[in-house]
Amino acid sequence: MIPYGRQSIDADDIAAVVAVLQGDRLTDGPAVERFEAALAEATGAPHVVACNSGTAALHLAAMALDLGPGDAAVVPSITFLSTANVPHHTGAAVRFADVDPDTGLLTPETLEQALARPGPGTPRAVFPVHLNGQVCDMAWIAAVAERHGLAVVEDACHALGGGARLDGARVPVGAATASAAACFSFHPVKTVAMGEGGAVTTRDAEMAARMRRLRTHGFTRDPALFQADAQAFDADGVPNPWYYEMAEPGHNFRASDLHCALGASQLRKLDRFLTRRRALAALHDRALAPLAPRLRPIPRGPSEDDGWHLYVVRIDFEAVGRSRAEVMRALAAAGIGTQVHYIPVHRQPFYRALDPDLHLPGAEAYHARCLSIPLFPDMADADVDRVAGALAEALG
C-alpha cells in the first residue's frame, strides 16, 4: 500500500531518541532547547516555543493575544478543525472566510468579505492557513489586517520550508515578519516528524515568554515576576528554591525531550526532504498531464515557493461519472492511499448550528473536487507512475 503520506525515519533519528532514553531527562531537558534553536535557524525567527501539537501551538498564540469573549477571529473554512476550535476555546467567536476555489487558500478578497459580513464579536485576529504547503499572499493579507487592526497568526502546519515574497525578497515561512506568530505541526505525515509535536515562532520576546509560561500551566520560577514577596524570598532576599507562582492559568502543552530529539534530527534533513518532495511533485505533474481536463493538479499558489506537504488534484467527478468515494475505493483496491483535505469547517454540525445560512461557494467548490494523493520522501519514482496508472483506471 502506498499511503498518501508517511514519515521518513533513519538510523540517526533512532539514535537521537535512544540517546535521550539513556540520559537523565526525558522531559524539560536540553533536547527541547536544542530543537527550538534548530527551528529558529530554519525559519529565521528569533523566538521559538516548542509544544506538543500544532493545535497547542495555535492555542498558545491565541491565548498570548488575549483572544476572548467579545472578540472574533477570521478563519478560512478549508482547514483542519483545530484552526477554528482554538479561538472558540478561548471564548472568541469564529467568523469563517471563503477561499479561492482552485487553491483553497484565504485571499485578501475573501478576508475582506468575511470582515464585511455581520457576525458576533469584534474581529481582532485572522488565521491564514498555508494549505497543502502553499503559502498565502502574506503581503496583501498583512495589509488588510493592518487596515482593520487585526493580529495575524499563520497556520503554517503544512508549510515548513516554504517561503513568502515580502518587499521583493524571499522570507521563510515562520520568520513571522508579516504576522504576530506562525504555528507548526510535526505530526508524522508532515515534512518533519516528531511523532506528535508543534511549535510557535514569533519576533515578539514578551509574547514568547508568555507562551512558555502558558505551555506549563502558566507558572513561573522567575524571581523577577514574583508577586507574593513574603513567601517567595527568605530573610536575606534570596528566592526560595521550592517556590513558583501562577499569575494566569495555562495548560500542559509541553513537548518532551524524546519528541524534540527526533524533531531536531529530522530538521537537519529538511532541505533533503523538501528537494525530494518537490521532485516528486514535478513527476506527478508530468505523469498526470494526460488525465486533463477531468483531473488537474491544484494550481500553484501566489508564492510559488511551497512547502509541499500534500499533493492535491482536482477531479470533475460529475464528468467522470463516478463519485469520489467510488474513486477512493478503487484506488485503495489498487494499493493507493488517498485522503480529502478538508471538509469545510463551516459545514460541521457545531458551527452550522451557529450560522445555518452561511454559504461559502469557493470552499464548497474546492472541497467538491479535491483529493490528496501520495507524496512523501521515501516514494520511488516508479510509485508515481503506479499512482497515475491507478488514477487513470479509477477514472475510467
Residues labelled as active-site residues = 190
Query: What DSSP element (H or E) covers 219?
Result: strand 219-220
**Bridge partners of residue 233, in order along the sequence:** 239
**Bridge partners of residue 202, in order along the sequence:** 47
- Residue 311: cis peptide before it, omega within 30 degrees of 0: no
Are 305 and 165 spatial neighbours (Cβ–Cβ below 8 Å)?
yes
Neighbours of 140 (CB within 10 A): 15
The cell numbers describing 229, all together, are 514577596
Residues listed for the chain: 396
Residues 6+ apart with CB under 8 A from 64: 181, 207, 210, 211, 214
Across 283-311, b (16+ Cβ under 10 Å) vs e yields bbeebbeebeebbbbbeebbbebbbbbbb
**Bridge partners of residue 220, in order along the sequence:** 245
